[in-house]
Structure 1
């Protein structure tokens, strides 16, 4: 299928309008016998929670009319919309920029950031009342423009896979919302930059800038496999961001959120790099949210590299989360790795942690709410460490209870934690599909 074609004089002149979607049918048939088509790979049996029940096959069953190669944001969004929930494979070639026109393209007429700063300076506005008024209304309108532009809804039964070693997205936010059976592989995601963060003077004792847009959001969806991707802040690290009103002008949210009753997710062989609030599983303690989250949020993380992380790798509420054979490398400003939240049931085993001098293993676990945790067989800087024991010894006000109350059975080969830094370092991330 071609959504646009070359016509008349353009053909005669040898000039052809760019195709919105390029069909790649027949490629697999032309490949040498025995060649494995990674675009049609499915999640293997027993490979984490994503393999539970019906498993995760994405678009593996796509017919020739629903296999696409895309090189622009417009092509990508058209491919997502074409064919509804029929199985589809979308091959991403090169780096697709969702904000190629820059932040100015989203700004509402009359929005002026310098005026925004002047209007809501704590010395003028104070810290007791949420901001309101003309510039806040214009900021909100600008933010709505960006939201519409950078978010892309992924339908059920879809595989999105990068072609080669250098494929991915800049500034995009994939929304996997209330669908089943999605695969995302071999892509580099440069975190979206929120062009219009909101100043909230009531957030904390001194106020904070709050931003939107995760690279990927799994919202109420089931059977999702994220594999061999790289999530990074790229050209816009928090370390390069300015301060306004004495606090960091935060333009990033998370790299991956799994929320609102999402279930049966496996994240394997990914790199999560250079980020602050990395992964959130369950986004609220509120009882209204809890009703939909209890009994869900079953997620497996294995053989991922978390490099220069600060916190939330992940922070967990409600979910049965299995984290094994991952390598966590603490970065400057490191706060914690695993956040133990409301009614969470985290199992963290056979992982490797690399902490700089002066950072205690007691910081690996952070207790937000009363919830038991299983954490054994882990290594810190190459040596076995009982993470719960050291946490309780050094942070007595946050005593953790042992035994998450369940035993993971959906696991592939479990490697010794001492070998994990080398194994994960060699094979995790985009461009390393085998």
Structure 2
């Protein structure tokens, strides 16, 4: 009997040890379950009147997914979605316009939930306003474009006014409309437009924009007089009224420039390093009121460039400048023309500038016309730029921050790679130019530059207009440009409004190719 009791006691103790061990193991395992890091930085963004985009930061590496919860006004939290691991966004759909919603998110796995993220609240709009953009088409009419996020819009109302006038309703369009062209405008005036969306008895806020309708030159004959930024700040006259001299060597040209102005220097011959004391640059430095003008088609700089520095009121016209290379420099070399600040009131007109594009390293030659530093009031007109890797760089780096003001008009850019121009900072006006066979990119607006780009003709051009290669983008105001067989970046809408502070008129864009190829370059002017 005693032996039997002992056996039962031993068995009971064994069972108690097993139960105690299991309980202890369970307690230890529960204690060792790793927590899940809390998702943070929860944000909500309106996608439409009925949709909200939620985004958050995933801070964990052991979650199975995330639970998304929502709370409406005066209601309790409810779980609305479960998304997978590493997911950091969710779109909440079928919401009610005009209501406020709150959201929170937490991570989970099979064992545990994380704490909740921050809460975020957002109110869905009753109706979202469209975003309006304006441009000028090839007929000098105003084209309106708009985009919308709305899911409830039934139509649009467009109003119009002239500068300092009153708003007048222009027309009402149905929801399928995304653009409208207004032909009832007058050249030389500024017009304001605004658009609102409507649905039943609900109306959105207005979206407004304004545009300048440029003057169109009615004449068939080109006007070669000075236009653009070089007309400001007292104008650009060069050596007008001063001593007139003729030169045929680089030594003679440099000596006459060093005498200062007012002086008009006619180049009748070919300037080379050999007749320029083996120098590869003509320096226009520390002087003012100088004109350098080629005679007929005989004014040429072969292998010699011009550098304008600390000089004001300088005119360079009717010169061929090409293949500028200092052999002592392994890569690149002098530009055909450099304008380096400080410099004011410079006019480059009817010149032909070229190096070589195909069959040569991109860094062998430098630019055709580069402008850097504190330079203002420049016009580049009726020039023929061709066969170049690096054509016209404005601003030497992203830190070359000056409010440069430059006009490019009626220039012919042919068989080039890029920089037509590449424009950092400042304000520019680019009109009535012909771009032909451009391999890389044409107009590159960078570092906050504001460019008015209008009535240019682009043919066989890759990336006619865009913003590349800098830490900040630039902007453009587009009007009436034509793109033929082009590819890449071809923006249809403006990203800023900009009107130059001088009077000018435009040639019809249909005539640009004809008149620029006929009249750009040397041998087209008589003085």
Query: TM-score by structure 1 length?
Result: 0.64
CA distance in 1, matches of 2:295, 2:225: 21
Q: Is the 8 A contact 2:367 2:390 kept in 1?
A: yes
1:403 equivalent in structure 2: 495
1:253 is paired with a residue whose SS is coil
2:388 equivalent in structure 1: 275
Distance change in 2, residues 1:304/1:238 (3 Å): closer
**If you compute each CA radius of gyration, which structure gives the higher value, 1 or 2?**
2
Deviation at 1:78, TM superposition (A): 1.0
Q: Is the 8 A contact 2:357 2:416 kept in 1?
A: no
1:136 equivalent in structure 2: none
Matches within 5 A, 1:303-382: 303-331=410-438, 334-355=439-460, 359=462, 362-368=463-469, 369-381=472-484
1:94 is paired with a residue whose SS is strand
Q: Is structure 2 residue 246 aligned with structure 1 residue 98?
A: no
Instruction: Give CA deviations for 1:233-256 in whole Å, capped at 9, x if unaligned.
Output: 2xxx24343xxxxxx273210011
Q: Is structure 2 residue 414 aligned with structure 1 residue 239?
A: no
CA distance in 2, matches of 1:196, 1:249: 17
CA distance in 2, matches of 1:382, 1:413: 27
Deviation at 1:281, TM superposition (A): 0.9
From 338, 341, 345, the counterpart of 1:217: 338
CA distance in 1, matches of 2:393, 2:503: 22
Deviation at 1:382, TM superposition (A): 8.5
**Unmatched tracts of structure 1, length 5 or more:** 1-42, 107-145, 199-209, 242-247, 390-400
Instruction: Give CA deviations for 1:51-89 in whole Å, capped at 9, x if unaligned.
Output: 012000100020xxx32100111111111112x3x3001
Q: Is the 8 A contact 1:194 1:251 kept in 2?
A: no
CA distance in 1, matches of 2:294, 2:464: 36
Deviation at 1:98, TM superposition (A): 2.4
1:162 is paired with a residue whose SS is strand
**Which structure: greater strand fraction?**
2
Pick which of 367-376 and 345-354 moved more. Answer: 367-376
1:253 equivalent in structure 2: 366
From 252, 273, 281, the counterpart of 1:150: 281
Deviation at 1:352, TM superposition (A): 0.2
2:103 equivalent in structure 1: none
Distance change in 2, residues 1:259/1:404 (3 Å): farther
CA distance in 2, matches of 1:249, 1:374: 31
Distance change in 2, residues 1:238/1:54 (3 Å): same
1:49 equivalent in structure 2: 229
Q: Is the 8 A contact 1:269 1:429 kept in 2?
A: yes
CA distance in 2, matches of 1:416, 1:306: 18
Q: Which runs of 4+ in 1 moved over 4 A?
A: none
CA distance in 2, matches of 1:342, 1:349: 20
CA distance in 2, matches of 1:268, 1:57: 15
Over aligned residue pairs, what C-alpha RMSD do you find?
Answer: 2.6
Q: Is the 8 A contact 1:194 1:252 kept in 2?
A: no
**Which structure: greater helix fraction?**
1
- Which structure exhibits the higher relative contact order, with contacts defined as CA atoms closer than 8 Å and separated by 6 or more residues? 1
1:72 equivalent in structure 2: 249
Q: Is the 8 A contact 1:320 1:345 kept in 2?
A: yes
Instruction: Give CA deviations for 1:5-25 in whole Å, capped at 9, x if unaligned.
Output: xxxxxxxxxxxxxxxxxxxxx
